Amino acid sequence: MKHVIAAGLAGICVTSGAWAQSNVTLYGSLDAGVAYVSNVGGSSKWMLEQGNMQPDRWGLRGMEDLGGGMKAVFQLENGFYTNNGAFAKANTLFNRQAYVGLSSSQFGTLTLGRQTPFSFDVLGPFSTAYLAASWYAFHPGNIDQLANTGVVPYDNSVKYKSPSWYGLSLGAMMGLGNTTNFATGRTMSFALSYANGPFRAGASWSNEHDRSVSIATIGVNTFQGQPTATYLADKVENMGAGASYQFGKLLVHGLYTRTKLQSNGYSDTFQSYDAGANYQFTAANSVAGGAATSTLSGRRWTQLMIGDIYALSKSTQVYVNALYQHANSNAHAAFFTAGVSSGRNQTIVLAGIHHSF
């Protein structure tokens, strides 16, 4: 009998130990450099730039093993600016992500909180900006939500990601407006991803209500009867699809996004076509570039980008980028967050250093 009790207690201890297995990881990224912009409001500009290769951020990520293939997971992530220490979104500490949930190898992952949409998760990794590691190469105004600027994540959201079935995985997400009117501020998103060897592909669709859109950053003063500084879309339908293929040292990729903006009885569509390639010359050195063209209400922006990244170590890289954008006669050139040109052309040349931990 004593042996049975001892064995039972030992089993409980082992089980408790398994339940107690957990870990928390502190991580982050710092990026800074010097940039020259040929035209901002009619003048050239030299500036200390930050977050070009990767957004500046720090975070905590953790899990606890609950047994039976189930884990509790969480993530807290804050975006900031290395050049001045400010938050990426004022008065919001964990402005990039803040969520908690459960994860199962059999059933998938369910999380709740402030989370990035599938346009960022699934489509962004097929863009030139992401794969060539150049912030300014995101499409004008970030209207298609490929870049996380601290205002892109969905608040009050529930997000589900399935396990992978032969390389295929699904996702669904809903953000609640937390008001007595269920439709106010509501967001909904779905995604499909596929990975098989050197081939990857993904698509997403979202429907968002009462969303602020950065129309002012593309050099437009009024849009759909509203001042662009405070433009609020009644409804936004955001969708896209992308793919990439690795041919040895060469990676090629392509992406299409379409964002429909509606307010005050108006309806306008922002579209972007994006393609590029990366080549790994050596283990330490790679060259990447691409081109994109975006349109909105008779305006067109076409941009080119090329860059070189040299790894000093696994955690530290130095880089140089050159970017050029040309707008048609109805628009002003306006690289994302660089400032609006007084004319139809804008050039950026920059160099910097990135470190992750």
- With a CB cutoff of 8 Å and minimum separation 6, the contacts of 308 are 285, 286, 287, 319, 320
Is residue 19 a part of any domain in this protein?
Answer: no
Q: Give the pLDDT mean for 145-151.
A: 90
Is residue 46 a part of any domain in this protein?
Answer: yes
Lookup: tokens for 63: 């899990």
Is residue 310 a part of any domain in this protein?
Answer: yes
Is residue 288 a part of any domain in this protein?
Answer: yes
The 10s digit of each residue's pLDDT in 231-245 is 999 999 999 999 999
Q: Quickly count: other Cβ atoms within 10 Å of residue 349's Cβ.
A: 14
The 10s digit of each residue's pLDDT in 29-40 is 999 999 999 999
Is residue 285 a part of any domain in this protein?
Answer: yes
Residue type, 164: S
Half-sphere exposure (CA, 13 Å, Cβ side) for 149? 16
Is residue 6 a part of any domain in this protein?
Answer: no
- With a CB cutoff of 8 Å and minimum separation 6, the contacts of 81 are 50, 51, 56, 87, 88
Is residue 323 a part of any domain in this protein?
Answer: yes
Question: Are 241 and 253 a contacting pair, CB within 8 Å?
Answer: no
Q: Report the percent of the chain where pLDDT is more than 70.
A: 94
Dihedral of CA atoms 162, 164, 166, 169 in degrees, nearest 10, equals 50
**Alpha-helix residue ranges (DSSP H) falling in 140-267:** none
The 10s digit of each residue's pLDDT in 6-20 is 444 344 444 444 445
pLDDT at 20: 55
Strand (E) or helix (H) holding 14 = helix 2-20
Strand partners, 200: 195, 244
Q: Give the pLDDT mean for 148-156.
A: 89
DSSP 329: T
pLDDT at 183: 86
What is the band of 21 on the pLDDT scale with cuts at 50, 70, 90?
confident
Question: Are 126 and 156 a contacting pair, CB within 8 Å?
Answer: no
Residues in the chain, overall count: 357
The 10s digit of each residue's pLDDT in 244-268 is 999 999 999 999 999 999 999 999 9
The CATH number assigned to the domain holding 344 equals 2.40.160.10
pLDDT at 334: 97
pTM: 0.90
Question: Are 59 and 78 a contacting pair, CB within 8 Å?
Answer: yes
pLDDT at 18: 47
Answer yes or no: is pLDDT of 142 > 50.
yes
The 10s digit of each residue's pLDDT in 74-83 is 999 999 999 9
Terminal C-alpha separation, the chain: 53
CA distance 301 to 308: 24
Is residue 78 a part of any domain in this protein?
Answer: yes
Half-sphere exposure (CA, 13 Å, Cβ side) for 221? 0
The 10s digit of each residue's pLDDT in 175-220 is 999 988 888 999 999 999 999 999 999 999 999 999 999 999 999 9
Residue type, 206: S
Burial of 240 (0-12, 13-18, 19+ CB in 10 A): buried
Nearest alpha-carbon partner for 266 in 305, 301, 226: 226
Question: Are 173 and 152 a contacting pair, CB within 8 Å?
Answer: no
- With a CB cutoff of 8 Å and minimum separation 6, the contacts of 100 are 72, 73, 74, 111, 112, 113
What range does the domain containing 299 cover?
27-356
Lookup: tokens for 129: 């900006």
Name the average pLDDT for the chain.
93
Residue with the bigger pLDDT between 90 and 345: it is 345
The tally of domains found in the chain comes to 1
Question: Are 21 and 65 a contacting pair, CB within 8 Å?
Answer: yes
Q: Give the pLDDT mean for 277-292.
A: 98
CA distance 171 to 123: 13
CA distance 231 to 210: 10
Residue-wise burial string across 145-183, b where 16 or more C-beta atoms lie within 10 A, e elsewhere: bbbbbbebbbebbbbbbbeeeeeebebebbbebeeeeee
Task: Output the CA angle 80-82-84, nearest 5 degrees.
Answer: 90
The 10s digit of each residue's pLDDT in 310-330 is 999 999 999 999 999 999 999
pLDDT at 16: 43
CA distance 187 to 232: 14
